[in-house]
Amino acid sequence: MDATYIQLGRGFILDRKAIRAWMMYDWANSAFATTMLAAVLPIFYFEVAGKGLEDDLAASYWGYTQSIALILVAIMAPLLGAIADLSGSKLKFLRIFASLGILASALFVFVGEGDYLLASILMIVGMIGFSGGNTFYDSMLTDLVPIDQRDMVSSKGFTMGYVGGGILLAVDLLMIEQPSLFGLDNGLQGTYAAFISVAVWWFIFSRPIFRRVAPFMPKPLVQHKLREYTTAGTKRIIRTLRSIKHYPELFKYLIAFWLFSDGINTVIAMATIYGKTIGIQTTDLITALLITQFVGIPFTLLFGKIAVKLGSKKSLYISLSIYVGIVMLGYFMQNATHFYLLAIMVGMVQGGSQAIARSIFSRLVPQTQSAEFFGFLSVSSKFSSSFGPFVFAVVAQITGSARYGILALLLFFIGGILMLTTVSLAKGEREAVELDVPVMKG
């Protein structure tokens, strides 16, 4: 259809350009997820910033860094989410946090050999920008897309992220492995150039969401001072905590989400540095993760279609079951071939599982309090997700082997699957709509 606007039920006006702009932000910030979080930075931390540390100790420090970052994001997220709902300023907060992540990425050019403390601090700041911004980005799904299309739109957003992150990671890999093609002297300069590329990429491709989405964001009826927003936001946090008991299906889903999301995030954060500890070469590690990106493109869309055909829960069961196999393979992994196989399996399920999980949550929360509840999801999941890297780090440090840290992740995936079996999505959707009506009328 040529029409830009399409009137839908329940008051939605679907704007294709706004939705494409929303998805483009996944393209933009996935540069941080791939190059900084998953591929290049963990290796840089191991080989340069952590130079002089024992191998397993460097991996443990990286795990502790992830945990600290997630806890700090968790402390900030619910208040910001509540304030964003009241002030109609989701885009404003997204811009602030994106800028923080962009700046931290660029500043990694000042990290040298043995500067693991500086690297950890910058990584924490970058994670706050990346994860904090996603609180507001994710919550926009309820403002832009009707409930029956969220599985597919959410999946397409993750697919855009895979494409964008994959393209930049391919360029970064070329700069590191063939630095002379870019006028660079060596791979280390290529690595620093990769950090700069993340900042530039994130900045440029986040422009569309700030231009196109603003007209569709809820506007406040009355303007208040920041202090008043903060006070009101704090009260809403307390109210959200108290109101969770009125959404029993949402609460059960949250428990499941905390568990399996912790496992997924830990696999993403720790896979590369774990591979480095068992002797896999840098080229193989980054190439395998590049494969993950492009395998993820069709499979993320596939899981969106599976969710439409079989239902969201069944598609989530499939992806989480594959993650159990990934953890087992990770424990027994011996060489680069095994890592490539693991990377392919992760690519098959990573985007699909996260997209479907995000979509399910959006269906279980009251629409008028979406940022508040997504803020609560962020704080709770970040607190819970800090346990994964922490468990990995502690187990690796105590046993002297990162393999046991990987094996411990089975608890998160199996526990999440078991808890998910207790959730009724149909009942949860009814609860979200029925309890949202008084708020909307008020």
Whichever domain contains 366, its CATH number is 1.20.1250.20
Q: Is residue 52 in some structural domain?
A: yes
Q: Is residue 218 in some structural domain?
A: yes
Q: Is 307 a residue whose pLDDT tops 50?
A: yes
- Phi, psi values for residue 338, rounded to 5°: -60, -40
CA 434 to chain centre: 30
pLDDT value, residue 196: 97
pLDDT digits (tens, 9 = 90+) for 314-352: 989 999 999 999 999 889 988 899 999 988 998 888 878
Looking at the structure of the chain, the number of domains it has is 1
Confidence grade of residue 3 (pLDDT, cut at 50, 70, 90): very low
Q: Is residue 171 in some structural domain?
A: yes
Cα 339 to Cα 56, 250, 284: the distances in Å are: 18, 36, 8
- As given in the structure block, the two tokens for residue 138 are 């994710």
Out of 68-77, 80-89, 126-135, which region has the weakest mean confidence (pLDDT)? 80-89
Tokens 């910001």 appear where? 80
CA 233 to chain centre: 24
pLDDT digits (tens, 9 = 90+) for 241-254: 787 878 889 889 98
Give the integer Cα–Cα distance in Å for 105 and 202: 10
Give the integer Cα–Cα distance in Å for 328 and 324: 6
Q: Please, which residues have CB within 8 angstroms of residue 304's CB and are 6 or more apart in sequence?
A: 151, 152, 154, 155, 156, 352, 355, 356
Tokens 């540390």 appear where? 53
Q: Is residue 264 in some structural domain?
A: yes
pLDDT value, residue 82: 67
Confidence grade of residue 289 (pLDDT, cut at 50, 70, 90): confident
pLDDT value, residue 148: 75
Out of 20-29, 211-220, 354-363, which region has the weakest mean confidence (pLDDT)? 211-220
pTM of the model: 0.75
> pLDDT higher for 142 or 72?
72
> Do the Cβ atoms of 294 and 166 come closer than 8 Å?
yes
pLDDT value, residue 202: 97
pLDDT value, residue 326: 92
pLDDT value, residue 101: 97
Q: Is 442 a residue whose pLDDT tops 50?
A: no
Tokens 């606007």 appear where? 5
Q: Is residue 4 in some structural domain?
A: no
Q: Is residue 249 in some structural domain?
A: yes
pLDDT digits (tens, 9 = 90+) for 379-429: 677 677 778 888 888 888 888 888 888 888 889 999 999 999 999 988 988
Segments forming the whole domain that contains residue 302: 9-441
Task: Work out the average pLDDT over 17-21.
Answer: 90
Q: Which helix H or strand E contains 194, and what residues bound it?
A: helix 187-205
Q: Is residue 2 in some structural domain?
A: no
pLDDT value, residue 226: 66
Count of CA atoms in the C-beta half-sphere (13 A) of 138: 29
Confidence grade of residue 5 (pLDDT, cut at 50, 70, 90): very low
Q: Is residue 99 in some structural domain?
A: yes
Name the nearest CA neighbour of 315 among 328, 330, 299, 329: 299
For helices 187-205 and 90-107, angle between their N-to-C axes, nearest 10 degrees: 170
Confidence grade of residue 233 (pLDDT, cut at 50, 70, 90): low
